[in-house]
Amino acid sequence: MPEQVPDDPGAFAAGHAAAAGITELPPLPYKNRSFLSFLGTQALGAFNDNVFKQLVLLLGVGFLMAGVEYQAIVQFLFALPFLLFSGLAGDLSDRISKGRLMVLCKIAEIVIALLGVGAFYLLSSMAADESSVRVSLWLLAGVVFLLGTQSAFFGPPKYGGLPELVRPADLTSATGLTQMTTFLAIIFGVALAGLLADVFAGRLYLAGLVTVSIAVLGTLTSLGIARNPPTDPLRPISVSSFSSNLRTLSSIWRTDALMMRIMLIYSWFWFVGGVTLTAVNAYGRFQLGLNNFETSLLVATTSLGIACGSVLVARLSHGKVRMGLVVPALVALAMCLFMFALLPVHRPTPEDSQLFNQLRQSPELLESARIIPLAAYTTRVSAYLLCFLLGITAGFYSVPLLTFLQARPQASEKGRVFAAVNWLNWVFILAAAIGYGAGMSLLASRANLLLAALGLLTLLLGLALLPGIFRRLLQQRPAFVYFRGE
């Protein structure tokens, strides 16, 4: 079968640039001031999101709000704006200049970070009784919701604006640089949050000032992004903007069963990631006895593994979508999750959580009390290794699926379809927050058992969806997919 090359990204970029009224294409990425400003802006945004959110997550490990684990509430509130506002944000990014919209989003980030400083200050200055702490934690959860809203409006101009900033031949390398810096921002953001949580324990408003500084720096870099004309200045903004992704998903469900199944199994990657992020925080603090920085390094190690796995699978693919890698990757992913239940770790009790939360605002007492015993050295090393392997297998699992989703739609449908894919991902992230809260409640706050249960669910999902996916692949034989012997 002759090889069919997927739609040329250069041609797409040229058409996008022409539609935006750009007559002179910018130079190579490393000489392009506008692109470099964009790269710095989006990296600082991802960095700040993860610093602030991880600070709040670490603060609430083991804390129950209305009978629900606080981390689950925070994850839920961060994901919710992406479901509510993604369609509206997409229409808005076409109606006004994407560069201008990014600047407005960064200014909003400064305001939100300042609100976070205020909430952290209230937490440190109010009485240490439980009711006062709850008020401060609800305020911080509200700030996380605002941060998610800002990110939801920043996403469409970020992904849709990149083809307007670089030459057609440079779009692939520019996209790679964007993804690489985003992953690095996540890794370092999570790690920095753990360090700040330990250094400024009891005075987290000082850590909040760091997030304000990052937001200011990101706003300054955004001023260098080109203010290209809007691509559709007459785009109507209406109630239907909120439901455009639902219409797209409905159409795919009716007309392309293969695409829909791959969208579902790819979105499961985000469900696993959402549960794992919060479960690893609880696992490190309540079962390994790690401090905030060491716990955040567990999360960062997982992200590093995903980055490494993504690079490795790209090198093995040689320009084709190797869907055959998904099966062993899914099995290995499930086995890594199972392994967390086999490590000898502490079993937290309700009394542990209660005493931990009482001493949370007194770091010296919390450290001296050693409520959660420190796990053996070999156990801690094994946990870090498992997190890294988990990330690698997740990279091997997700990249072929994502590449298929990028290559499958027609050129005229790619933007609309991928907006729906992104929306579905956030549905699963939202479900992960609910699943984490319910799972920790059912399993008596034992995060290692929750991770093992997640491994079992992953295997069951693979059994339910993968046979139908490969049967349809063999029937349709898309040219961009690698088949043995071709």
pLDDT tens-digit map of 68-96: 788 889 989 998 998 888 778 877 887 88
Element (H, E) at 107: helix 98-125
Closest among 435, 432, 434 to 424, alpha carbons compared: 432
pLDDT for 269 beyond 60:
yes
Round the average pLDDT of the chain to a whole number and report it. Answer: 83
| Of 207-221, 241-255, 434-448, the least confident | 241-255
State residue 135's pLDDT score.
86
Q: Please state, in angstroms and rounded to a whole number, the distance separating the CA atoms of residues 205 and 69.
A: 23
Topology, domain 1-237? Growth Hormone; Chain: A; (1.20.1250)
The domain spans of the chain are 1-237, 244-486
DSSP assignment of 308-344 equals: HHHHHHHHHHTTSB-GGGHHHHHHHHHHHHHHGGGS-
Q: Please state, in angstroms and rounded to a whole number, the distance separating the CA atoms of residues 471 and 465.
A: 10
What does the pLDDT average to over 379-401?
A: 92
Q: Name the residue with higher pLDDT: 353 or 364.
A: 353
pLDDT for 179 beyond 70:
yes
Q: Please state, in angstroms and rounded to a whole number, the distance separating the CA atoms of residues 351 and 310.
A: 42
- Residue 441, φ and ψ in degrees, nearest 5: -70, -45
CA 82: distance to chain centroid?
Answer: 12
Tokens of 273: 């990631």
Closest among 404, 411, 397 to 478, alpha carbons compared: 404
State residue 444's pLDDT score.
87
pLDDT for 67 beyond 80:
no
What 132-136 contacts at long range (C-beta under 8 Å, 24+ apart), as own/partner pairs, is 133/357, 133/360, 133/361, 134/65
State residue 180's pLDDT score.
76
Read off the amino acid at residue 124.
S
Convert the pLDDT of each residue in 142-172 to its tens digit: 999 999 999 988 888 887 777 778 777 676 5
State residue 248's pLDDT score.
82
Percent of the chain at pLDDT above 70? 85
Identity of the highest mean pLDDT range in 12-21, 32-41, 352-361, 476-485: 32-41
Residue 214, Cβ density class (10 Å: 0-12 exposed, 13-18 middle, ≥19 buried): buried
63 pLDDT band, cuts 50/70/90, is confident
pLDDT for 122 beyond 70:
yes
Q: What is the DSSP letter of 65?
A: E
pLDDT for 14 beyond 50:
no
Closest among 167, 160, 156, 175 to 32, alpha carbons compared: 167
Q: Beta strand pairing status for 64-65 and 68-69?
A: antiparallel
pLDDT for 302 beyond 60:
yes
Q: Please state, in angstroms and rounded to a whole number, the distance separating the CA atoms of residues 253 and 270.
A: 20
Topology, domain 244-486? Growth Hormone; Chain: A; (1.20.1250)
Strand, helix or coil at 275?
helix
Q: What is the DSSP letter of 226?
A: -
Tokens of 399: 């990249």
With the CA atoms of 11, 262, 402 and 157 taken in that order, what torsion angle do they form, in degrees rounded to the nearest 10? 70
Q: Name the residue with higher pLDDT: 354 or 292.
A: 292
Q: Please state, in angstroms and rounded to a whole number, the distance separating the CA atoms of residues 331 and 66.
A: 36
What does the pLDDT average to over 136-145?
A: 93
What does the pLDDT average to over 217-235?
A: 86
Cβ neighbour number for residue 324 with a 10 Å cutoff? 15
pLDDT for 387 beyond 90:
yes
| Of 362-371, 387-396, 414-423, the least confident | 362-371
Q: Residue 235 in contact with residue 116, Cβ under 8 Å?
A: no
pLDDT for 470 beyond 80:
yes
Q: Residue 252 in contact with residue 262, Cβ under 8 Å?
A: no
pLDDT for 485 beyond 70:
no
The residues, ordered by sequence, that sit 6+ positions from 193 with a Cβ below 8 Å of its Cβ are 50, 51, 52, 53, 54, 55, 58, 207, 292, 296
pLDDT for 7 beyond 70:
no
Closest among 289, 280, 298 to 371, alpha carbons compared: 289
Q: Name the residue with higher pLDDT: 484 or 301.
A: 301
Q: Please state, in angstroms and rounded to a whole number, the distance separating the CA atoms of residues 65 and 479.
A: 51
State residue 457's pLDDT score.
96
Domain 1-237 and domain 244-486, same fold? Reply is: yes
Q: Residue 98 in contact with residue 161, Cβ under 8 Å?
A: yes
4 pLDDT band, cuts 50/70/90, is very low
Q: Please state, in angstroms and rounded to a whole number, the distance separating the CA atoms of residues 349 and 444.
A: 8
DSSP assignment of 142-202 equals: HHHHHHHHHHHHHHHHHHHHHHHHS-GGGHHHHHHHHHHHHHHHHHHHHHHHHHHHHHTTT
Closest among 298, 246, 294, 287 to 423, alpha carbons compared: 246
| Of 157-161, 171-175, 247-251, 350-354, the least confident | 171-175
pLDDT for 1 beyond 50:
no
Convert the pLDDT of each residue in 393-441 to its tens digit: 998 898 888 878 877 777 556 656 777 888 898 899 999 989 998 999 8
Q: Please state, in angstroms and rounded to a whole number, the distance separating the CA atoms of residues 425 and 428.
A: 5
pLDDT for 18 beyond 60:
no
State residue 323's pLDDT score.
85
State residue 220's pLDDT score.
96
